[in-house]
Amino acid sequence: MGRWSTRDAGRYNYRMNAGTKFAIGAVLIVGSVGYLMASGVKQTGQYFLTPTELTQKIAADPSFYDVGMKVGAHVVPGTVSKDVATQTLRFQVTDGSARYPVVFHGLPPDTFNDSVEVVVEGRLKRDGVIYATNVLAKCGSRYEAVPKA
């Protein structure tokens, strides 16, 4: 039986130095974190669209219905109706080009009226109605400069 020399042992027992181990570990950690961030954003991310952009998105991708989104627009004057018994608010939003009806179950914000800018959070269904889970109304600034007399 032959004996191994220290030179032969070094050739067959390849050892990684500490820097190589650190680099491989860092790549694995960064890759894992990147993957988790990308998949989390994909699952919870929402589109922010105007009614015109929403119309274009539906025309380009008919499977876009029932996707979580936020729509920023103006409430169309004269379209607001409230059913107090069922706490249902119905209104339409527009950006001047496209118009969508909205149905919201819950209490509207205090600043909501029929001429306010809103952000409607919800899903557009195939019936063409946005079913909102949240409605945010733009608040006029109460701290405007007083005109000089």
**76-116, pLDDT tens digit by residue?**
999 999 998 899 999 999 998 999 999 999 988 888 888 88
Residue 7 confidence (pLDDT): 59
Helices (H), 45-90: 51-60
Taking residues 122-147, what's their average pLDDT?
79
Q: Which residues contact 55 (CB under 8 A, 6 or more apart)?
A: 97, 98
Confidence of residue 13 (pLDDT cuts 50, 70, 90): very low
pLDDT at 149: 52
When pLDDT is cut at 50, 70 and 90, the band that residue 52 belongs to is: very high
Structure confidence at residue 43 (pLDDT): 55
For range 45-66, the mean pLDDT: 86
Query: How far apart, in whole angstroms, are the C-alpha atoms of residue 64 and residue 71?
Result: 14
